[in-house]
Structures are given as C-alpha cells and as structure tokens.
Amino acid sequence: MDFDDQLRRYFGTTDLASLRPEALEAGTERMQVDFGLETNKGRRFALWTFMYMLGAAPDLDVAFKDEAERDSARDFMDLVDRVQPKD
C-alpha cells in the first residue's frame, strides 16, 4: 500500500490539512468499511495503522482476533507515542 495512493483513494488528495471536516469524516468512514471487509492481514494492519494515526481506529480486541496481531498493533502504538512531540 502506497500512502499517497491511500490518501487519494479515501480523501481525494494527498494534503490532509486542506480537507474540510466533513470530507475527513467521509473518507474515514470509507476506510472503516474497507477495514471491515478486508481479508488480507497485511492490508488490514496497514488500514488499522492509518486509522490509528487519524484517531479513528477500532479497539484492538475488536480489530484483531489474533493475539500476535494485537501485540504488533500495541508495538506500533508505542512507537508512535515515542516519536510524537510532547505538548
């Protein structure tokens, strides 16, 4: 999954800062639907990480039935928390 391609697919632009709130919401909804329908584990994980960065990811126990996938998601969350600047 190419990130810019995913931005264009769900939001019609590669510039999220330019999106109106309703466009962001609509794109996020489409992403959540695709996440629910996706059967490929790698693509599901990529969609989940994208939604996590947007603050729209489902809880780990809902998103991933497999414990190893939940652990990978927790690792990703920890990594993001470490690189995000503190207020």
- Domain residue spans of the chain: 3-83
Confidence of residue 87 (pLDDT cuts 50, 70, 90): low
Do 62 and 87 meet the contact criterion of CB atoms below 8 Å apart?
A: no
pLDDT at 84: 76
Q: State the average pLDDT over residues 19-40.
A: 95
Prediction pTM value: 0.88
Do 46 and 1 meet the contact criterion of CB atoms below 8 Å apart?
A: yes
Confidence of residue 78 (pLDDT cuts 50, 70, 90): very high
* Cα–Cα distance for residue pair 31/75, rounded to 1 Å: 22
Confidence of residue 2 (pLDDT cuts 50, 70, 90): confident
pLDDT of 85 > 90? The answer is: no
pLDDT for 31-76, tens place per residue? 999 999 999 999 999 999 999 999 999 999 999 999 999 999 999 9
